[in-house]
Structure 1
Amino acid sequence: MSGLGRVLIAVYIVLALAATFRSLYQIITKFEEAPLAYVLSALAGVVYIVATVALLRRDRGWRPVAWAALGFELAGVLVVGTLSLVAPQLFGHPSVWSYFGSGYLFIPLVLPVLGLVWLRRLGRPVRPGVAAPEAAV
């Protein structure tokens, strides 16, 4: 696994734990204040967990799961980020993906893009007789 891969997985683990535990706490203690925001944060946490597991798995069967999780994550950040700007009254409180992840230093916006780039680099087939590109360290 390259240096970028290790960093991606480490950040995904931290984000998965932060989003999941924060949303669970919010759902248990104050769900009625902002149900949509808290459910979206819980969904983000689940997506981060799935993405982490899929990125950790080295076999090809998990590669489509990783693509789907990262694609869903990016779409979620873009949709929720846009909605939080044009219709903030929908949410009550910010979610992980509100304002494009500004509450998490925009990591939710940047992370899936980096993850998709990394997956694309990993997914390039090597043609017979052609040397494989060097992996980044």
Structure 2
Amino acid sequence: MPDDRTLGAPAEPGSGTSGAARVLVALYAVFALAAGSRAGVQLATRFDEAPLAYLLSALAAAVYLVATVALARGPAGRRVALTAITVELVGVLVVGTLSLVDAAAFPDETVWSGYGRGYLYVPLVLPVLGLALLLRRRSGRPAER
């Protein structure tokens, strides 16, 4: 049963919820679904073509799912959200760089290839926004309403 700390509750002073946080949860949920669906189809039908790329897309989907759930839990999920979003940012930067430096290692794109160019660079921007929101709250600055 949701309580006032979840993002489904109305934003009240001191509740830790905000419109920005709700949008972030929605974006993470969409990316978890998109990356998971894409990876599922690729792993089931073409695994032998680019196993590394498809497994990295599945990893991205798992990270997005963990971030979604943690962010939706509000303050109770803050530590897990910080960890998941940090892993996501490192993944985007490492895979994005490797996919540009050694394109032969990635015969098919991952969610994080080219810093997320196949998803309009949202995979690069999303963790930056997520960390900014979480760190702003940590510093005691009020979240947007």
Query: Normalized against structure 2, the TM-score is what?
Result: 0.85
Give the secondary-structure state (helix, strand or coil) at the position aligned to 1:92: coil
- Give 1:2's aligned residue: 18
- Give 1:49's aligned residue: 65
- Give 1:105's aligned residue: 120
Residues 13-49 of structure 1, C-alpha deviation per residue, up to 9 Å, x if partnerless? 1000000011011000000000000000000000000
- Give 1:23's aligned residue: 39
Give the 5 Å matches for 1:58-73: 58-60=74-76, 62-73=77-88
- Give 1:80's aligned residue: 95
User: Which consecutive residues of structure 1, in runs of 5 or more, have no partner in the other structure?
Assistant: 126-132
* Greater helix proportion: 1
Distance 1:58 1:117 in 2: 15
| CA-atom RMSD in angstroms | 1.1
- Give 2:48's aligned residue: 32
Count of residues paired in the alignment = 129
Q: Runs in 1 of length 4+ with deviation above 2 angstroms?
A: none
Q: Letter of the aligned partner of 1:37 in structure 2?
A: A
Q: Which of residues 104, 114, 123 is equivalent to 1:89?
A: 104
Identity %: 57
Deviation, 1:59, is 3.8
Query: Normalized against structure 1, the TM-score is what?
Result: 0.90
